[in-house]
Amino acid sequence: MPEVIARELTFGEAIREALAEEMRRDSRVVILGEDVAEAGTPFKVLAGLVQEFGPERVVDTPISEAGFTGIGVGAAMTGLRPVVDIMFGDFITLTMDQMANQAAKVHYMSGGMWKVPMVMRTTLGATRRSAAQHSQSLHAWFCHIPGLKVIMPSTPYDVKGLLKAAIRDDNPVIVFEDKMMYKLKGPVPVEEYTIPIGKADIKRAGEDITIVATSSMVQVALGAAVMLEEIGISAEVVDPRTLWPLDEHTLVESAKKTSRAIVIDEGYARYGTTAELASVIVEGAFFHLDQPVARMGAMHVPIPFSPPLEDATVPTERSVFDVARALCSKR
């Protein structure tokens, strides 16, 4: 990290700064989405951008994710570098053909003659009391498709550097932002930087157990690590930062070091991101493991609207602490 970090931004501010910098740097960068211009999105992440760049580069679209995602794919193929805003990650279901069958495959099927330098920004995460259709974490759907890159930033620093890298990438990249993290503050240097896509980050070094966590679960894992430290367990928190490409080496080496691993992700655990990450660890570190790899994800149910029930469906600092303590404990 560069030296000058004498300021903090929120996660949302870091996103806005990344977009503004890239739009100033490259006139081909445009934003498409619902309520992105005047409203600046319901989370106010984009507030002010339309004032600087005008309604031709920050474009409010009708409520039609399939339509404006398709426009984004086509615009990317024909020379722009669009950033498509899907307000709730739950709505990516409507964009699946554009993303999985068009954006992901055009470069391959055209023999490299076309490319889709497009970014989709969308959200994930529960506990906002938004009910079952606005609380899912569906990033695994995109991870499953060759040709798409999937980014899961967990800090203001990471989201700015990764979003800028995503905009400059010639491939379709989906950035998932936990809507509960937009107010999270963290150090962000003033000067220019990007973060390479496909490189994990060890958010906290430890010796006894590896906690691999994505997106806002990194913050949960860090909270659990503090609790664990109080009972003498040293937890290492590894943030893959990008799910595809995936930095398998860092995950495996950490698990080899600690002999124990938990994988946390807010998507559904069944057939989800945690399954893939746990599999990578077991394949790479099997003879170094002292315990089975534990997976923690969303419960296999529609996310409830009832706050107490909703909170019970996703990993918390307490539940991560309990699982880690059990893996490290002895009879």
Partner 1 sequence: MATSVVMPALELAQETGKLVAWRKKEGDSVSKGEPLLEVETDKAVVEIEAPADGVLAAVTAQAGAVIAVGKTIAWILRPGETPPAETAPADSGRHAAAAEPVAAATSAPVAARAAGKGGGRISPKARRFAQEHGIDLAMLRGSGSEGEILTSDVEAAIAAAGAPTQVEVPGSIWRLMAERTLQSWTTVPHFFVVRDVDAGALNETRKQRGPAIERERSVSLTHTDLLVALVARALARHPRVNASWTPKGIRSNEEINIGVAIAVADGVVATVIKNAGQIALGDISVQRRDLAERAKGGRTRPADIAGATFTISNLGMYHVDAFTAIISPPQAAILAVGSITDRVVPVDGRPAVRPIVTLTLSCDHRVIDGAHGALFMNDLADAVRDPEKWLQ
Contact call for residue 7 and partner 1 (CB under 8 A): no
**Catalytic residue, candidates 107, 134, 249, 300:** 134
Cβ of residue 288: shortest distance to partner 1, in angstroms?
A: 5
Cβ of residue 100: shortest distance to partner 1, in angstroms?
A: 19
Which residue in 74, 189, 223, 284 binds partner 1 (CB under 8 A)?
284
Cβ of residue 290: shortest distance to partner 1, in angstroms?
A: 4
Cβ proximity to partner 1, 234 vs 291, nearer residue: 291
Cβ proximity to partner 1, 48 vs 146, nearer residue: 146
Cβ of residue 198: shortest distance to partner 1, in angstroms?
A: 16
- Whether the CB-CB separation of 104 and 244 falls below 8 Å is answered with no
- Give the x-and-dash track for 291-310 against partner 1 (CB under 8 A): x-------------------
Contact call for residue 326 and partner 1 (CB under 8 A): yes
Which residue in 10, 194, 259, 319 binds partner 1 (CB under 8 A)?
259
User: How many angstroms separate the CA atoms of 121 and 277, rounded?
Assistant: 23
Distances 142 to 91, 188, 275 between C-alpha atoms, Å: 13, 28, 15
Contact call for residue 330 and partner 1 (CB under 8 A): yes
Contact call for residue 287 and partner 1 (CB under 8 A): yes
- Whether the CB-CB separation of 172 and 148 falls below 8 Å is answered with yes
Burial of 98 (0-12, 13-18, 19+ CB in 10 A): buried
Choices 19-27, 57-65, 199-207, 289-297; region in contact with partner 1 by CB under 8 A = 289-297
Residue 194 burial (CB count, 10 A): 17
Cβ proximity to partner 1, 184 vs 280, nearer residue: 280
Contact call for residue 283 and partner 1 (CB under 8 A): yes
Cβ proximity to partner 1, 123 vs 258, nearer residue: 258
187 pairs with which residues across the strands? 8
What single string gives the DSSP state of each residue in 139-199?
Answer: HHHHHTSTT-EEE---SHHHHHHHHHHHHH-SS-EEEEEEGGGTT-EEE--SS-----TT-
Residue 110 burial (CB count, 10 A): 11
Indicate the pairing of strand 209-213 with strand 235-239: parallel
| Catalytic residue check, 300 | no
Which residue in 290, 302, 311, 312 binds partner 1 (CB under 8 A)?
290
Cβ proximity to partner 1, 78 vs 329, nearer residue: 329
Contact call for residue 234 and partner 1 (CB under 8 A): no
- Whether the CB-CB separation of 190 and 223 falls below 8 Å is answered with no
Choices 58-66, 67-75, 129-137, 278-286; region in contact with partner 1 by CB under 8 A = 278-286
Choices 137-145, 224-232, 281-289, 298-306; region in contact with partner 1 by CB under 8 A = 281-289
| Alpha helical stretches, state H, 55-152 | 65-77, 96, 106-109, 139-143
Q: What is the CA radius of gyration of the chain?
A: 20
Choices 83-91, 185-193, 288-296, 299-307; region in contact with partner 1 by CB under 8 A = 288-296
30 pairs with which residues across the strands? 82
What are the DSSP E strand ranges found in the chain? 8-10, 29-33, 58-60, 81-86, 119-124, 149-151, 173-178, 185-187, 201-204, 209-213, 235-239, 242-244, 261-268, 294-298
Cβ proximity to partner 1, 36 vs 328, nearer residue: 328
Judged by the rule CB under 8 A, the positions of this chain that interact with partner 1 are 259, 280, 282-284, 286-291, 326, 329-331
Active site residues: 134
